[in-house]
Amino acid sequence: MFYNNRRILFLPAVISFIIALLLVLKFSFPISWDVYYHIHMADLYMSNGLVFWDYLTVAPAGRLIMYPPLFHLFLAGISCITGLSLKDVCVLLEPFFTFILVGIITYMAYRLFDNVKYGFFTGLFSMICFATFNRGVICTPATITMAFMIICCVMFYMGFNDNKLKYVLISAVSLGLIANLHMATFIITCGVIGLYAVVQLIRGKINIKYLLVFIIVSCIIALPWWIYVEIKYGLFFNSLGGNPLRFDEFLAKYFGIIPTIFMIIGVYFLLKKRSEKSLFLLLWAFSIVCVSQVVYFGVQTVSIRILEISAYPLVFIAGYGFMQVIGKITNKNYKKIVIILLLIYATSTSMAYTDSYTPELLTPDENDIMILPDSIHMVLDPVGSTYKPSIISSRYGNSTLAHDRYDVMEWFTNNTDHKIAVCEDSILDTIIVSTSRTPVIYGGFTESIPEYVVDPIHIIENHSTVNELHDLNIEYLVLNHDTPIPFYAKCVYENSNYKICKINI
């Protein structure tokens, strides 16, 4: 049949590339707010070389840069070579990131079972699943890290199961690269392969020599940056807990109803088969799921981000479940019809996801009018159309808000005097600092913001003192439109969502 040809493995990635490209053509600013933080970091390296301290996103004291530099140096290098702005580089990379992520999912699934059908089905489910496809259209180190995590885990399993050193080396190199891209994913990946290694060690089914090679190679690649930072500055990780998210809620809102159905079927057949692959896939997926739920035991963590990582092995299980169902259909024509319907549904659903994307910024001549009518969105993505979930980027967003954020960004770009700004909207913090180099009190990712940093809320709520504002060199407040203006500030610009106020001291 047509899906037995290995060339079909490229189809999900190619379709995803085209869909992501349509998003780029629809908007000139199709990037999420957190991409602006990475633009800022790349710009910092381009302007100052390889530095370890950022004085702009946590002004005035600054903070240790706890994000490894590999991705930002990559962006800076492409910008220097091509002459494109960092924003344009991120925009143009998005379709390629989508192609890489979906392509890696498809190919690694194929390699895991040595089965073209399984790889093809898994690739299609990665397009249907909101959590996995949504990540693919965002140009961040986390996107590439997800691809390396899949390579690392699958190659680790294959290397030790097939006793092949080259797979072990590929896994070790992938883990080292993850450590230089995204530390949170590195920790989770270490947990997964560590748990699997311990289980296999107890069962006496692991090559100790290969395990030592894996540890040594991955450490050589992963640790130099972090050892240097630890020796010179000391490591810290100030993780702020997010709202708890139950696993069943994640499946309904972010993973998808259809992928969930086939994931459950896949779990059933994996348990029934009780193979080495069953053990590997179930440990990979549900060890991460269990970690995401520790928030209910009082442990501070961000459930949604951990569950997002679990979506990738869960997609592998969903693809396996679909393959088992297809195998039960004896009529070849019925099989073709079901597979073609899955292909059409995967393409349509991923198009609906990109069509509902609303950037955090929209220029005055842009709008977020959806190409597909609401009725089609309701059919293709009923849960998303109803609950409008968002992991990173906005979905079904407010175009007025996006326009007003653009206006605030433009104001600071044209009026910056490099005095510190305090923003009530945390998204604007990152956008302002990355576009105008205006220092902000609390910008960027919170995980590496030191505990000593000034909490901006009391400044916004009129609880600060004039001496404090003077000592911090704060000049501007960016408030939501319905927030009262503190007595020590006056409004210099406003639109329907925001007020920019200047401090009077």
* pLDDT tens digits for range 356-369: 887 888 888 877 77
pLDDT bin (cut points 50, 70, 90) of residue 133 is very high
Counting every residue written for the chain, the total comes to: 505
pLDDT number for residue 3: 56
pLDDT at 216 exceeding the cut of 80? yes
- Whole-number mean pLDDT of the chain? 89
Whole-angstrom Cα distance, residue 410 to residue 435?
A: 9
Most confidently modeled range among 47-61, 211-225, 288-302 = 211-225
Sign of CA dihedral 491, 419, 234, 187: positive
Residue 433 has a CB neighbour count (10 Å cut-off) of 28
Q: Which residues contact 273 (CB under 8 A, 6 or more apart)?
A: none
Q: What is the arithmetic mean of pLDDT over 226-253?
A: 82
Tell whether the model's pLDDT for residue 447 goes beyond 70: no
Q: Tokens in use for 98?
A: 């989508």
Query: What mean pLDDT comes out for the span 21-49?
Result: 84
Supply the pLDDT for residue 362: 84
Q: Residue 102: what pLDDT?
A: 97
Nearest Cα neighbor of 359 from 392, 383, 331, 334 is: 392
On the question of pLDDT at 2 being above 60, the answer is no
Residue 137 has pLDDT above 70, yes or no: yes
| pLDDT value of position 332 | 87
pLDDT tens readout for residues 450-474: 666 667 777 888 778 878 888 888 8
Q: What is the pLDDT of residue 28?
A: 61
pTM of the shown model: 0.93
- 244's CB contacts (< 8 A; 6+ apart) are 295, 296, 303
Q: What is the pLDDT of residue 209?
A: 95
- Mean pLDDT to the nearest integer, 45-61: 89
pLDDT attached to residue 179? 96
**By CB neighbour count within 10 A (0-12 exposed, 13-18 middle, 19+ buried), where does 166 fall?**
exposed
Is pLDDT at 298 greater than 80 in this prediction? no
For the chain, what is the total number of helices (H) and then of strands (E)?
21, 8
Percent of the chain with pLDDT over 70: 94
Confidence of residue 385 (pLDDT cuts 50, 70, 90): confident
pLDDT digits (tens, 9 = 90+) for 333-351: 999 999 999 999 999 999 9
Q: Mean pLDDT throughout 125-134?
A: 94
> For residue 438, what pLDDT is reported?
92
